[in-house]
Amino acid sequence: MGQVEKHIRPALAAIIFAAVTLFFGVLYPYHIYHQEQFQLFEWTAGYFLTVISAPGGFADWAGRFFTQFFIFSWAGAVITGVLVTAIYVLVCRIARGKSLVSKVLMVVPAAAFSLFLTDERALAGALVAVILSLGAVCTAQAISNVRTRAIFVVAATPVLYWLCGPVVVLLPLLEARDVHPSAFACALILAVITPLSASLALHYGIKSLLTGVHYFRYITVVPVLLWVAVLITVIFCHLPDIRIKNGTIGTILASVCLIAVISIWVSTVRKAADFTKEEMMAYDYMSRCQQWDDIVGKARTKHPDRPLSVSCLNLALSQTGELPEEMFSFYQNGTTGLFPTLSRVFTTPLSTAEIFWHLGLINAAQHFTFEAQEAIPDFQKSGRCYRRLAETNLVNGDYAVAGKYLNSLSHTLFYRNWALGTAKLLGDEAAISAHPLYGKLRNLRNNGKDNWFKDTAVDSVLLDIAAKHPDYEPVREYILAWYLLDCNLDAFVKHFGNNLQSPAAKSYQEAYLMYMLDHQLPIENAPSFVERATTERFQRFIKDVQKGQAKAFITRTYGDTYWYYVLYRR
């Protein structure tokens, strides 16, 4: 059993690291990307001083430092695994129990912190703060002189509060048994008085100062899971040593405990993880990276049904030239599946801005991106937003504003090269016109007429662009898709145009037959751009509906048609 005890801690550390890394790298990678895009880590002294000026600022700065690498999902997954594993190793060093069973039970605090990280609002700085606090406890335990140890605990508490925030309470709570009661009381009082004193000089509320300013994306929300994990850490570190004289029985008990802990951990993480949000983040990320084929392939596996995801899919179909043919092969939820409405949530506007950007609605893209930037709850800046704002201002010719965004991006690690390269275009009209993307968008932009873009006026704005650029198919396709999803077949036919291939796209054929039915025109006299097979299928659809066929049958037989959308989804 002695040999087992010797190797159990590194073995469990390896298991924790592998489990956390694989979970975030394989099952939750888009939560990693999501974290990175809502911060802008700058390698400047000014940025460092600004961040560390708040309570817990150093831990926050370190967390942001790590998060910049989340631009690569596996790098983020590995860093997350290292942080959680570091907590396990430190807890094992601090805990009173050193037996095999005790080391197994120390997995629980690490598991609790990993559970906290499944929330996309949880920030890496929170774990850094916990690690700094636990490191201070280990330092205190290394001091053999009782008086010196007590002085260290008392003196370190207020200093650590400014470095890592209120989780510094771990230091006096974990040292409670090993220092004089008066020193413990003094340290605990300081852990409370320091944030109360800070509230007199800082603009943060007392609740935020007592529960953490930069542990959670929403600074006014108490990160309950984090504090539950802190409480679990204190309890488990104070558990008495569990030693079994019989080595075989001890090993069996430890194995049972390990299986139970892992089972509960997996079960709890599955319940806490939000895979619906993960799917939405996946569509948003792929849209950001213009991975159009990947979006369509993902949708074929499982149809998205949220407005944001559906809008990303429709954009991908448009960019691959498949929107008129394939749109109703997927779930559609009305016009919000083309343009999700602007909301106060800071995530949705970015996906909508991507759509506006690719359609040439530069001012609308800039508006939605700026709204997303300013709505970030913890007031950070966003690398993704700064890049798009630089681009929209560049296309609009606002070079001074574009230059400010590019200057900030040039101080980052992963946006620097792009920013420096793009800065060369500032003021160079010929270079911008020759640019394959910016030149096209400058030509498409609607001379500022989309400044007052409203969801209800989308067709008029797009029609204006289409009139000036009749060969730009994505805009024309979006106009017709808007009319189809809005069930405005009169407008659809009016703007259908005579410039059609024969046969027309599948959704256009189906919509035209529905228009003929609504206007009591003979279906047999459908124009040449409607295939005979489509006409015959439509006639069967009408008969099946009139016979009262069950919805399951209609779904199975006609679920990929515009007629089905009109009948069940509008």
The pLDDT assigned to 449 comes to: 55
Specify if 465 maps to a domain: no
> Do 36 and 70 touch, CB atoms closer than 8 A?
yes
Is residue 101 located within the same domain as residue 185? yes
Q: Whole-model pTM?
A: 0.91
Cβ-in-10-Å burial (0-12, 13-18, 19+) of 522 comes to exposed
Length of the chain: 570
Q: How many domains would you assign to the chain?
A: 3
Is residue 399 located within the same domain as residue 528? no
Is residue 69 located within the same domain as residue 82? yes
Is residue 265 located within the same domain as residue 346? no
The pLDDT assigned to 200 comes to: 62
Specify if 519 maps to a domain: yes
What whole-number distance in Å separates Cα of residue 367 and Cα of residue 82? 39
Specify if 264 maps to a domain: yes
Angle at 397 (CA atoms; ends 394, 398), nearest 5 degrees: 80
Last residue of a domain, one of 253, 273, 293: 273
What whole-number distance in Å separates Cα of residue 359 and Cα of residue 232? 52
The pLDDT assigned to 527 comes to: 87
**Three-state DSSP state, 216:** strand
Per-residue pLDDT of the chain (570 residues; tens, 9 = 90+): 455 566 788 899 999 999 999 999 999 999 999 999 999 999 999 999 999 988 899 999 999 999 999 999 999 999 999 999 999 999 999 987 777 888 888 999 999 999 999 999 999 999 999 999 999 999 988 888 888 888 888 888 888 989 999 999 898 888 877 666 776 677 777 777 777 776 666 777 788 888 888 999 998 889 999 999 999 999 998 888 766 655 677 677 878 888 888 899 999 998 999 999 999 999 999 999 999 999 999 999 999 988 899 999 999 999 999 999 999 999 998 888 998 876 667 788 899 999 999 998 899 899 999 999 999 998 899 999 999 999 999 999 999 999 999 999 999 999 999 999 999 999 999 999 999 999 999 988 755 555 545 555 677 788 888 888 888 889 989 999 999 999 999 999 888 765 556 788 999 999 999 999 999 999 888 888 899 999 999 999 999 999 998 999 999 999 999 999 998 876
> Do 67 and 41 touch, CB atoms closer than 8 A?
yes
Specify if 523 maps to a domain: yes
Specify if 412 maps to a domain: yes
Tokens of 454: 């409203």
Is residue 285 located within the same domain as residue 269? no
Is residue 322 located within the same domain as residue 427? yes
Q: At what angle do helices 473-485 and 506-518 cross, to 10 degrees?
A: 40
Specify if 526 maps to a domain: yes
Is residue 315 located within the same domain as residue 221? no
The pLDDT assigned to 188 comes to: 72
The pLDDT assigned to 109 comes to: 95
The pLDDT assigned to 471 comes to: 81
What whole-number distance in Å separates Cα of residue 504 and Cα of residue 500? 6
Specify if 62 maps to a domain: yes
Q: Which domain holds residue 163?
A: 20-273
Amino acid at 552: A
Q: Which residues pair with 216 in a beta bridge?
A: 122
What whole-number distance in Å separates Cα of residue 144 and Cα of residue 542? 88
Specify if 1 maps to a domain: no
The pLDDT assigned to 302 comes to: 93
Smallest Cα–Cα separation from 481: which of 365, 342, 314, 330?
Answer: 314
Tokens of 560: 């990929």
Is residue 29 located within the same domain as residue 91? yes
Last residue of a domain, one of 436, 452, 468: 452
Is residue 118 located within the same domain as residue 188? yes
Is residue 289 located within the same domain as residue 266? no
Phi then psi dihedrals of residue 99, to 5 deg: -75, 175
Residue-wise over 137-167: b if at least 16 C-beta within 10 A, else e?
Answer: beebeeeeeeeebbebbbebbbebbbbbbbb
Angle at 67 (CA atoms; ends 379, 25), nearest 5 degrees: 130
Q: What is the CATH number of the domain that holds 283?
A: 1.25.40
Is residue 235 located within the same domain as residue 368? no
The pLDDT assigned to 1 comes to: 46
Is residue 267 located within the same domain as residue 352? no
The pLDDT assigned to 446 comes to: 59
What whole-number distance in Å separates Cα of residue 275 and Cα of residue 355? 24
Last residue of a domain, one of 229, 253, 273: 273
